[in-house]
Amino acid sequence: MAALGAWLVFEDEAGFSMTPPTTRTWFRRGHTPVIRVRGRSRRLSVAALACYKPGEPSRLIYRPCPDARPDGRKSFSWKDYRDLIQAAHQQLGGPIVLVWDNLNTHLTARMRRYIAARDWLTVFQLPPYSVQGQ
């Protein structure tokens, strides 16, 4: 990596609930609290890249993905990951060594073709046993 002058980039995604938890609360005995929540249950997904290179400040590049998408999809598509990687390449201004998990979207044929067509992009898949909490 250092010989290539490349950025070491780790990718992962997470989902967040935008509504407050309402299962338990503290209140005076005999008085049931009423918690009003506006809107419907909403989620937000975020894909992020943690970027490192010796001699450079580390960077965090991320993209949100709300659950209300025109195509009805509730998670990132391969095109969303492609766009995130492309944006990172433009912002970082150099080759990228990308490390990510075996999410099915990362393994699609379209994504593999995209990766193969970019000489500035090297991708390493984490082995399945290294991913915890799935």
CB 4 within 8 A of CB 94: no
**Which pLDDT score, from 0 to 100, does residue 7 have?**
96
**Which pLDDT score, from 0 to 100, does residue 11 have?**
95
- Domain locations in the chain as residue ranges: 7-130
- 92's CB contacts (< 8 A; 6+ apart) are 7, 9, 51, 53, 59
Which of these, 113, 94, 71, lies nearest to 4 by C-alpha position? 94
What's the predicted TM-score (pTM) here? 0.76
Distance CA(30)–CA(32), nearest Å, equals: 6
- pLDDT tens digits, the chain, 134 residues: what are they? 555 689 999 999 988 777 766 656 677 788 777 766 666 657 788 999 999 999 999 999 999 886 666 666 667 889 999 999 999 999 999 999 999 998 888 889 999 999 999 999 999 998 877 655 55
Q: 7-130 adopts what CATH topology?
A: Nucleotidyltransferase; domain 5 (3.30.420)
